[in-house]
């Protein structure tokens, strides 16, 4: 395209943008802080995962205990009803 062509100007400017290097640099202390934060976060994450695992184990144990208690309650309730009927039978005689 010709330099006088207004449509060609956009292409020239993109070439210039690709050539210009901006002076942005990464500060080394930031990367160290980020690494430390990641280490802290991964440590905290590990602790939280361990805590979740403990709670899951505790939940399973408590569910088993609850099931056992429900069976015990049903057995006691049945015994109570049987004894009540036997007592009423003795009173009526």
- Based on its alpha-carbon atoms, the radius of gyration of the chain, rounded to whole angstroms, reads 39
- Is the predicted pLDDT of residue 72 greater than 60, yes or no? yes
Distance, CA of 4 to CA of 1 (rounded, Å): 8
Q: Which residue has the higher pLDDT, 87 or 25?
A: 87
Domain residue ranges in the chain: 50-93
Q: What is the pLDDT of residues 18-40, one digit of tens each?
A: 666 666 666 655 566 666 677 77
- Contact in structure between 11 and 1 (CB atoms under 8 Å): yes
* Reported pTM: 0.48
Q: Is 86 helix (H, G, I), strand (E, B) or coil?
A: helix
- Is the predicted pLDDT of residue 12 greater than 70, yes or no? no
């Amino acid at each position: 395209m010709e330099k006088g062509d207004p449509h060609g100007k956009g292409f020239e400017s993109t070439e210039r943008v690709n050539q210009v290097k901006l002076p942005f640099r990464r500060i080394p202390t930031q990367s160290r802080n980020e690494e430390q934060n990641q280490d802290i976060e991964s440590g905290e994450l590990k602790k939280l995962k361990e805590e979740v695992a403990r709670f899951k184990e505790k939940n399973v144990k408590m569910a088993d205990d609850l099931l056992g208690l429900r069976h015990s309650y049903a057995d006691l309730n049945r015994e109570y009803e049987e004894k009540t009927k036997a007592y009423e039978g003795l009173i009526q005689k």
